[in-house]
A and B are shown apart, each in its own frame.
Chain A
Amino acid sequence: MTLTEDTALVRPDATALLPGNDPVRVLGTPAAADLDPEDLLRLYRELVLGRRYNEQATALVKQGRLAVYPSSTGQEACQVAAALALSTQDWLFPTYRDTLSVVLRGVDPVQTLTLLRGDWHTGYDPHATRVAPLCTPLATHLPHAVGLAHAARVAGDDVVAMALVGDGGTSEGDFHEALNFAGVWGAPVVFLVQNNGYAISVPLAKQTAAPTLAHKAVGYGVRGVLVDGNDAPAMLGVLTEAVDRARDGGGPTLVEALTYRVDAHTNADDATRYRSTAEVEAWRERDPLDRLERHLRETGRLDTGTIEEARAAAERMAADLRTRMHVEPAVAPLGLFDHVYAEPTPQLLEQREFLLAELSDDVEGNCPP
């Protein structure tokens, strides 16, 4: 017997797990003819809404209503598809840049933006919404998604977890450990890497020597798929297939979506220091909303009424968000001591008393000198 015949030491052939050399595309290919017009119009409406949401949230930073906003402008096809690919009972594990996905999952936009406006960290109930808290450290939420999916599978429940991460996050140890655990456990989880080219300022070439990020899956016995992240129907098709496969016991998939962060990392970032205007313009030419709109126009599926209706719905969402975000959230200082533990420790009760006394002094205007 040769070493490779010893099946205890060598795993099965990896070929089936490998991503294609070219990203999966639908728009501009013959496959586009087979798309359901209703699905496309739904994608279109969500993309219009998503673009407007990004614009409004960015404006709210300038108005001082948000402390920070990591925009997903240019990545809306990924955001929309991630939300639409899931069923009600499934879970989404977002990062700070994925608030659009969270909103499209049905979470109230104001609750979604609680963290980013400087109010309490998570404004929504993860159990009620089946959306995990926005994760600001990188990739640390991926093992959570795997654990949840694993627990659901062990319980015999039909639940899939979708975990979002960026290209930079794939360098983190937790990314590798999550992929490895998911592979070993056959957990029903889909990892969506939105490769937007930069981890803040560091380009992909300095992040990895892997042929693609989707190739990273193969080392863990996980299927890797490479997809054009600005092709909304391709994104929805690939993610839906991955979710269905996970649901049917086919195990995890790592999807790498090739996309671009058109805006800076956040409002605090200066993207001109690390990338050229020409590069940004080239990506604007591949804008996911424009591409779908062009396809729909060329195939005669987009009339003025639909466009106006989509834009009006987006304006209503934006106006509502604007109005509600202009109301300052109530601040309750004694809430500092809530929810540290199920029951406060004696020490926390003492500190609460201390703050209470301090606040009373303030009210009476008798602060000690």
Chain B
Amino acid sequence: MARALNAALRDSMAADRSVHVLGEDVGALGGVFRVTDGLTAEFGEDRCTDTPLAEAGILGSAIGMCLYGARPVVEMQFDAFAHPAFEQLVGHAAKMRNRTRGAVSLPLTVRVPYGGGIGGVEHHSDSSEAYYTHTPGLHVVTPATVDDAYGLLRQAIASDDPVVFLEPKRLYWGKQPFRRTLDVPPIGRAVVRRPGRDAVLITYGPSLEVCLETAEAAEPLGLDVAVLDLRSLVPLDDETICEVVRRTGRAVVVHEATGFGGVGAEIAARITERCFHQLEAPVLRVTGFDIPYPPPKLESHHLPSVDRVLDALARLQWDGRPGGVSLAGA
């Protein structure tokens, strides 16, 4: 995925001179995950800039650059290292259009590597999406495929609003070929990655793979499970979510982030409000526990796994279903 993101940055910079990349180690090193590899060499230090090590300063400066017509792409080195920039993001980036009654747009992209599963020590594996989704004025986008990594990042950079672009760290090193095309569904649309009639797993970013594997594992057990990749948490595609849930009658939301007050809670509430009469079972969540991100040797117990998602599927009140399904021991 890192290569797809790199191509998206390169193509955006080539297409639009107002696109600037700035962050820590984004120059000669090409970023700690090599997402900005070669950009300074190709576009110069004024277009891809190694900044001082200060996240609020980086984001605050990027806001000022937007005021002067630039379209900055900021790299936050790691999820938890983005927190010093929280005030600039929440207090300023998110509100500038609103407080100037539309006079000022901030076409700002904030790239944040997020999530665990890479054996990172503390502060290197957080999933902070709920902080951002709770902030009106920000778009929150996360790709789960290489095509989306390219296409969604191009769309985010072209957006006239600030976009928090969450990149699943565990997918960076995948070598899948990607399509260098903008022709992916727009920000705000979810995509059904696997059709299914019996239940739907609703997920995004790093948890898509787990859900696809789970659906596959459920097949021999007689369950036809759909998988919905949200892609965009703000705006949320209520329409597609409801359409799939109404068809299947059962839903599990899966994400790495802690569950309490999380994106899964919002989705479960929205489904209940909109699809109650089509539901055969309560909407369940499989999420990280409500704990600070654990050390690498314990993270497998924290992260949603295929077994844990299968267990959740099994708890979706299948009794009395014509033809009956038993997932006991799944």
Taking the complex as formed, is B101 at the interface, i.e. its CB lies under 8 A from any CB of chain A?
yes
Taking the complex as formed, is A127 at the interface, i.e. its CB lies under 8 A from any CB of chain B?
yes
Task: Give CA–CA (A144, B106) in the complex, Å.
Answer: 12
Chain B contact residues (Cβ within 8 angstroms of A): what range? 35 or more
A332 smallest CB distance to B (angstroms):
11
Task: Give CA–CA (A125, B103) in the complex, Å.
Answer: 6
Residue of A nearest to B46 (CB): A154
User: Which residues of B are found within 8 Å of A339, using beta-carbon distances?
Assistant: 97-98, 100-102
Task: Give CA–CA (A347, B84) in the complex, Å.
Answer: 29
B137 near A340 with CB under 8 A, answer yes
Residue of B nearest to A342 (CB): B160
Cross-interface CB contact of B91 among A140, A145, A161, A346, cutoff 8 Å: A140
User: Which residues of B are found within 8 Å of A127, using beta-carbon distances?
Assistant: 67, 103-104
Task: Give CA–CA (A132, B67) in the complex, Å.
Answer: 9
User: Which residues of A are found within 8 Å of B67, using beta-carbon distances?
Assistant: 91, 126-127, 132, 144, 147-148, 151
Q: Mark A68-99, 1 if CB is under 8 A from B, else 0.
A: 00000000000000000000000100000000
Main secondary structure of the interface of A (DSSP, over half): helix
- Most chain A CB within 10 A, of B60, B63, B104, is at B60
Residue of B nearest to A136 (CB): B91
Taking the complex as formed, is B52 at the interface, i.e. its CB lies under 8 A from any CB of chain A?
yes
Residue of B nearest to A129 (CB): B103
User: Which residues of A are found within 8 Å of B63, using beta-carbon distances?
Assistant: 143-144, 147
Known contacts A143-B61, A143-B64; A346/B103 CB under 8 A: no
A interface vs B, CB < 8 Å? 91, 120-122, 125-128, 132-133, 137, 140-152, 154-155, 159, 161, 173-174, 177-178, 180-181, 184, 338-342, 345-347
Could you list 25 A-B pairs, sorted by A, with CB under 8 Å? A122-B100, A127-B67, A128-B103, A132-B67, A133-B96, A143-B56, A143-B57, A144-B67, A145-B64, A146-B57, A146-B64, A147-B60, A147-B68, A148-B64, A150-B65, A151-B64, A151-B67, A177-B52, A177-B56, A177-B57, A339-B101, A340-B136, A345-B236, A346-B239, A347-B238
B interface vs A, CB < 8 Å? 20, 46, 51-52, 54, 56-57, 59-70, 84, 87-88, 91-92, 95-105, 136-137, 139, 159-161, 188, 234-236, 238-239
New contact pairs (4) apart from A159-B68, A181-B54, A338-B102, CB-CB < 8 Å: A125-B100, A126-B103, A133-B99, A340-B98
